[in-house]
Amino acid sequence: MEVIEVLHMNGGNGDISYANNSLVPQKVILMTRPITEAAISDLYCSLIPKSICIADLGCSSGPNTFLAVSGLIKTVDKKRKIFGHKSPEYQIYLNDLPSNDFNTIFKSVPPFQEKLKMQMESGFGPCFFAGVPGSFYRRLFPTKTVHFVHSSYSLQWLSQVPELEEINKGNIYMASSSPSSVIRAYVKQFEKDFSTFLSCRAEELVTGGRMVLTILGRKSEDPCSKDGCYIWELLALALDDLVSEGLIEEEKLDSFNIPHYNPSPAEVRNLVEMEGSFMVDHLEASEIHWNAYDSDDLESDKFKDGGYYVAKCMRAVAEPLLVSHFGEGIIEEVFSRYRKILSDRMSKEKTQFISVIVSLAKRA
């Protein structure tokens, strides 16, 4: 499986699209906004650039695509008014893999620009947008041209499925039952990918440039801990049910592994320090419930059943990967069973995603 070809969220605006099933990422972006605002404020105050280049890496498609960018632009505009400066020009790069739904993004740019003009007072500088298809584990921009990099819930995706020495039997990700060689392979792949990401961005960022990265991670130092692996373990149970009924071949399941890794804050800090191009300005881990709907959001019995929403959210994320390996024929049945498993576990346990947030400054 070539990850760059099949890894993307469900496109469009339909019922199972990422655009309509991305409330958790939306809340995470809003939750981390004080950190991103502080970082870009520091950058603007130290550089006072006449033009400012912002890159959002792993932008996906849908309403969240412009959420972080909008907040960053408004923060800079407030700062420049305090100083009495002329508005900088804004160059916004929206990056994701080539299989991302860029058509939906491009259609959304003109209305977003008009909305932004209406929200901002006169004197607001022009704002230019460009789509940048490609892996962020490679160079994406010219040397020393980018001021600020933002990425949310993207860097947990690996550049490839780790090369495994043993079969990860009955699992689709790291689990307590995975062979130790599988765990080591996942750790090694993340270390390689994240270090490559840092070195690429170090080339592209101006001196003093900033990055705020939010990664779906874990608090425990155990890579197989429940706070990092559990939601994938439950999907594996749904797939295993189909194996037991002969609807999926056992060998087909055993050869499927998710290109994903949930790092701990300590892992992130250690890799940043080892790579050496950035200083850690802020690092924290926060929690958000699997079902991001608050009680006021519950409009139907479907949403009171937490498994319904979470299964749809995970389908928007994982369906393209599953289809590429197992085909479309099993998808409805897999997620029907996954919903039931999720509902059962969520009714009995505390289920949370862990976000690892790190704010970095490029060294001189």
Identify any residues that bridge with 44 across adjacent strands, giving them in sequence order. Answer: none
Looking at the domain that runs over 3-362, which CATH code has it been given? 3.40.50.150
pLDDT for the residue numbered 61: 72
31: buried, middle or exposed (CB in 10 Å: 19+, 13-18, 0-12)?
middle
**Can you tell me the distance from the alpha carbon of 292 to that of 362, in angstroms, rounded to the nearest whole number?**
34
pLDDT for the residue numbered 156: 92
**Can you tell me the distance from the alpha carbon of 121 to that of 50, in angstroms, rounded to the nearest whole number?**
18
**Can you tell me the distance from the alpha carbon of 299 to that of 28, in angstroms, rounded to the nearest whole number?**
22
pTM of the model: 0.89
Two tokens, residue 197: 């990401």
Phi, psi of 116 (to 5 degrees): -65, -40
pLDDT tens digits, 71-122: 999 999 899 889 889 899 999 999 998 888 888 888 888 888 888 888 887 7
Two tokens, residue 179: 């062979």
36 half-sphere exposure, CB direction, 13 A CA radius? 28
- Reduced to 3 states (helix: H, G, I; strand: E, B; else coil), residue 93 is strand
pLDDT for the residue numbered 304: 56
pLDDT for the residue numbered 331: 85
pLDDT for the residue numbered 295: 46
**Can you tell me the distance from the alpha carbon of 52 to that of 78, in angstroms, rounded to the nearest whole number?**
14
Averaged pLDDT in 10-residue chunks for the chain of 364 residues? 55 57 78 94 90 92 83 91 90 90 85 83 83 94 97 92 83 83 92 97 95 93 84 86 80 85 96 96 90 54 65 80 80 84 82 91 92
pLDDT for the residue numbered 288: 85
Tell me the residue ranges of DSSP E strands in 106-231.
Answer: 127-133, 146-152, 205-217
Domain extent listing, the chain: 3-362
For residues 25, 26, 31, 36, the Cα torsion angle rounded to the nearest 10 degrees is 90
Q: For the stretch 225-260, what's the b/e string if a residue is b when 16 or more beta carbons lie within 10 angstroms of its beta carbon?
A: bebbbbbbbbbbbbbbbbbeeeebeeeebeebbbbb
